[in-house]
């Protein structure tokens, strides 16, 4: 299973956990039962989902600093927020994934799952985070 497909599984779980207030470990196990996910992919997915769940408020705080002036994190559609949270995780924690690749993959996920303009603003927010601009 390639990194792109693994990332997509992680996104689906991050989104699911945002929506459902159930135990994340149970949700992950059920997701793995319902989907054909290889063991090597499970490790990445578990780390990403756990990190995002445990650091959600801090991640959102950083994302909020880079949103357009009149946008708030609460206004962002849940799937697009999940995409940015996953990309933020990769930018900060995965040394084997170049930051530009993490951003590009987030934009591609946004084109598939988000609104028409999602890719553009997700790219802008993540690029500013990468560059440390405000």
The neighbour count for residue 107, using CB atoms within 10 Å, is 19
What's the confidence (pLDDT) of residue 21? 82
pLDDT at 35 over 90: yes
CATH number at residue 25: 1.10.940.10
Tens digits of residue pLDDT in 84-121: 999 999 999 999 888 999 999 999 999 999 998 999 99
Number of domains the chain is built from: 1
Residue 133: band (very low, low, confident or very high) from pLDDT cuts 50, 70, 90: low
Structural domain of 99: 3-131
What's the confidence (pLDDT) of residue 12? 96
Q: Average of pLDDT values for 56-80?
A: 91
Burial 89-98 (b: 16+ CB within 10 A, else e): bbbeebeeee
The overall average pLDDT reported for the chain is 92
């Amino acid at each position: 299973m390639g990194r792109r497909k693994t990332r997509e599984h992680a996104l689906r779980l991050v989104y699911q956990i945002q929506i459902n207030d159930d135990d994340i470990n149970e949700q992950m196990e059920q997701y793995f039962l319902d989907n054909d996910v290889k063991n090597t992919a499970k490790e990445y997915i578990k780390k990403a989902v756990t990190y995002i769940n445990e650091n959600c408020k801090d991640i959102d705080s950083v994302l909020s600093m880079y949103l357009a002036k009149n946008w708030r994190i609460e206004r962002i559609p849940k799937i697009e927020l999940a995409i940015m949270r996953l990309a933020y995780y990769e930018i900060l924690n995965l040394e084997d994934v170049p930051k530009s690749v993490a951003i590009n993959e987030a934009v591609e996920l946004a084109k598939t799952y988000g609104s028409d303009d999602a890719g553009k603003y997700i790219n802008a927010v993540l690029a500013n985070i990468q560059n440390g601009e405000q």
